[in-house]
Chain A
Amino acid sequence: MKSNTGDTGYVPREAPGFLRLWPVRLLGWLVALAVLPALVIAPMTFEQQLVLSVGIFAAALVTNRFRGRFAGLVMIVLSVVVSSRYTYWRVTETMYMDNLLDLVLGVGLLMAELYAFVVLLLGYVQTAWPLERKPVPLPEDTALWPTIDLFIPTYNEPLSVVRPTVLAAQSIDWPRDKIKIFVLDDGRREEFRAFCEELGVTHVTRDNNRHAKAGNINAALKNTTAEFVAIFDCDHIPTRSFMQIAMGWFGRDPKLGMVQLPHYFFSADPFERNLDTFGRVPNEGELFYGLIQDGNDLWNATFFCGSCAVLRRTIVEEVGGIAVETVTEDAHTALKMHRRGYNTAYLALPQAAGLATESLSGHVGQRIRWARGMAQIFRIDNPLFGRGLHWAQRLCYLNAMLHFLYGLPRLIYLTAPLAYLFFGASVIHASASMIFAFALPHILHANLTNSRIQGRFRYLLWNEVYEAVLAWYIFRPTLVALINPKLGSFNVTAKGGLVQEAYFDTQIARASLVLLMLNFLGVCAGVWRLTWVDPQNIATVWLTLAWTVYNLMILGACVAAANESRQVRSAHRVALEVPATLYLEDGTSMRCSTFDFSSGGLGIALPADVPLAQDAKVGVALYRGETESRFAATVRFSSGRRLGLRFAPMTLVQERALVQCTMARADIWAARWGNYPRVGIHRVLSHLVRISATGFRNMFAHYYRAATSRLRPSAASSPKPPVEAKDPV
């Protein structure tokens, strides 16, 4: 496997033959089950614990050199044993607190650690064996193919965002008389009605906006009849092959209620844009669609993600339509299907692509909604209880919900060392050496195992950054939803907006800044303790200081993520390298290739210098297989061998052809998706340190500017962020 050769410098081998014989494996499991509990609870001295830890870690390192899922399972078992031992030790031996402050803070930290432990275990269950389901071919005779209603719900998105989606939907390869397209316009806009009429698709409105998107879809369900319902968010552009890939499994399994495909984003999300990691570091969603959904699929616990999915009408109707009780109607609908004994499926093939959220505040708003919705489901329809689910489904759902409760534990981790540095509070009743001997193996095993499982989809430590940015914002709404699931309001994720000018989003960064300040003071306090106060606890101080410095690094990256870079083009530029032909006004042509595109224009790279005047008229041809489409354009800029073109106004036919040649190309998205090389820990660490340093620099620059502009009141004040993070509570 190419992806394994990354930076770690080795290629895992096939496990030796004798290990693959079933009696050997059975014996292995029996021994393991007898010995492991003892390993977890046996009390040991520091030296014994050290020897045991080194031994098990060496075993994990050796195992990691072998390829295959069996080796992965062995590593999971080792990691679970080590973490269980740590947790058992933490609960039984480190909680002798002699004052109230220590007790409160200590219990808080223990709770956060127990939470992390449970999520670690559930994560292993969820991702140990991704199903990697393949598409099933449809019958040869298209007369046997079922009918589909394709829904495109929209509320306040501009028409320019929705246009390519509808045009691409019309190009889906499926018998014309068996697929109908409905634009579900909850904004009731005349502009949309006219557009739909021009295209010959149905424009659907309703007289209220109850239950937002779920209500919108339910209203449309009542007025349509096809056997299957496909749902695309208005900015998810489907490829021609979408239905032929997605529909096959329905024919094989009559109890299959939903097939979900991944959400692929061809523009950079705010993290990727602000941290400049697009295409280099897997983004936040990659782990979910690359691994978690595929892992869920093994347990028949794939859940609906609101878009890029096909539902079987009879089954959706049986569960009462799309769920409206919570703000994550999609996951809740899948839960209801599972409770009634229906199946869901996931195909890890990107067959639709869309725009990522525009600004960090928009991104945060979206995650707040997900977190709130999951907490709501946890309260009103808890997957652990109730009928119809088998144990693995319960665990998969439980993990999906628990995951979003990371807010408070993450905040505790980011502040826990401060209790000792500021107040000398002893939140873990143990010596530094014991903590070291127990906690370090726990952390190392979890990271080693997860990087083996997740390597292509999530780099080590990055989840700490993603979570730390969001922790403060999702902590309150999840808490409120857990207390009273009815509180809070619905917020729509804004897409297609502009970030007019680079700015530092102090609103979003505020939580990180406060934490940063506290940790910085913590380091000062640590240095003070090191020198004057605690000479007898020197190891403890060092340990706590190291933790604080690590926190500072993560928080620096969070601050860097809040530094919004400019996004000023009215149409998104998406990197795309495909062959093209440039036709000049004198009738000659030149073979070239594109480097990016947008709905308004195209960037092309020429094989030779061509002197072209600004506004010169040219034609440009793009290809889709054998089919060629030519578009009239004018030159916007010309620098050497690079050319920027602006398209002339297009007919709908041309616009559709453009969508087909660019955004609706499954081949390109599929090639980009999930193909990140595995990267060694030192690389990740140095990358994060660099990002963190940039974050500090930007922050100081911002506050320096703010301070100097305050001194000179005539200077322009810093611009307002275009999208405010709505506090939904």
Chain B
Amino acid sequence: MVVIPVISSKGGVGKTTIAANLATTLAARGRQVLAIDLDPQNALRFHVANDPHHGGEDGLLAAAAGQLPWTQAMCPAHGGVVLLPFGTVDDERLIGFEHELSRRPGWLGDTLARFGLPPDMLVIVDTPPGPTVYLQQALRAADVCVIPVLADAGSFATLPIVERMVDKYCRARAGYRGSAYVINQVDPGRRLNHDVFAMLRARLQQELLGVLHLDASVSEALASALPVRHYAPLSQAAEDVSVIAERLLARLASPLPSSAQAFAPRQEPTR
């Protein structure tokens, strides 16, 4: 089991889009994929579920509360992905769940361990933006974090928040494979975008996994409840997602960095 949370310090950077597209693309490459929606918005199902109405109520929360077995909370999704939706709930239950999570910091990891998943199964975890209990849970269980950012000033400014979180919960752990940044909605035609993109690239260095171009196909695919690679297979966005998935697999296949290296904060440019 390899846990891959998709995290961000800022909303609207395309976490759910990337989590969904990554899940279906990895599944298309013959990997077993479990996509977990750990975001109370419960939106991942719109991107990947075969029946987007499934999970409207029942989901992770209900299963966690013991109201139904985990296997019933899960549902089949595009391309063989198994989806565990968050489920829709009222405020009181949500607050109760979050309280429970803050009391048991290792809850996600423990729960996943109890599932007894095959060792090479990929678990993509979608999370809500910003420093939340969900993020802490995801980071504590993470083998590698996928971090979408936009090539804009806001993303650049809030980058340190997520970096601090990753440093705190992940890098100290042996076996953490580092962060994998994805720059989303890249449009080199726009000057600011171009400049920030260049800065991000210089800063992220080898932790940069890839880019996802600004492409209307991505939002159109969402509207059609399809992954990009099904909706517009010849588009640049589909190509981008497939490059990202390939590099992620290559990262997972490469030997683990030594713990000392993993602990060291991001590598500064050595060139």
Chain A contacts to B: CB under 8 angstroms: 581, 583, 586-591, 607-608, 619, 621, 626, 628-630, 632
Contacts and interface: CB of A to CB of B under 8 A. Distances in A.
Interface in B118-134: none
Contacts of A630: 187-189
Contacts of B238: 591
Contact of B215 (A587, A607, A626, A632): A587
B188 A608 contact: no
Given A630-B188, A632-B189, A581 B236 contact: yes
Contacts of B216: 586-588
Secondary structure of the A side of the interface? strand
Contacts, number: 42
A608 B234 CA distance: 8
Interface string B212-254: 0111110010000000000010111111000000000000000
Closest 4 CB pairs of A and B: A587-B216, A589-B236, A630-B189, A581-B236
B236 A591 contact: yes
Contact of B234 (A587, A607, A629): A607
A588 B220 contact: yes
A591 B188 contact: no
Chain B, interface size category, equals 10 to 19
A583 B187 CA distance: 10
Contacts of A590: 234-236
B189 A589 contact: no
B6 to A, nearest CB: 23
B54 interface: no
B217 A589 contact: yes
A90 B186 CA distance: 76
B183 to A, nearest CB: 11
B60 to A, nearest CB: 34
A608 B235 CA distance: 11
Interface in B168-218: 186-189, 201, 213-217
A626 B186 CA distance: 13
26 contacts: A581-B213, A583-B189, A583-B215, A583-B236, A587-B214, A587-B215, A587-B216, A588-B215, A588-B216, A588-B217, A588-B232, A589-B213, A589-B217, A589-B236, A590-B235, A590-B236, A591-B235, A591-B236, A591-B238, A591-B239, A619-B189, A621-B236, A626-B201, A628-B186, A630-B188, A632-B189
B188 A621 contact: yes
Interface of B: 186-189, 201, 213-217, 220, 232, 234-239
Nearest to B208: A626
A607 B215 CA distance: 18
A137 to B, nearest CB: 15
B87 to A, nearest CB: 34
A324 B251 CA distance: 61
Given A619-B189, A629-B188, A630-B189, A589 B201 contact: no
Interface centre among B187, B215, B234 (most CB of A within 10 A): B234
Nearest to A586: B216
A669 B187 CA distance: 29
A645 to B, nearest CB: 15
A632 B190 CA distance: 11
A505 to B, nearest CB: 46
Contacts of B187: 630
Contacts of B235: 588-591
A587 B214 CA distance: 8
Nearest to B215: A589
Given A589-B236, A590-B235, 19 more contacts: A581-B213, A583-B189, A586-B216, A587-B216, A588-B215, A588-B216, A588-B232, A588-B235, A589-B213, A589-B215, A589-B235, A590-B236, A591-B234, A591-B238, A607-B234, A621-B188, A626-B201, A629-B188, A630-B189
B215 to A, nearest CB: 5
Contacts of A629: 188
Contacts of B214: 587
Interface centre among A588, A619, A626 (most CB of B within 10 A): A588
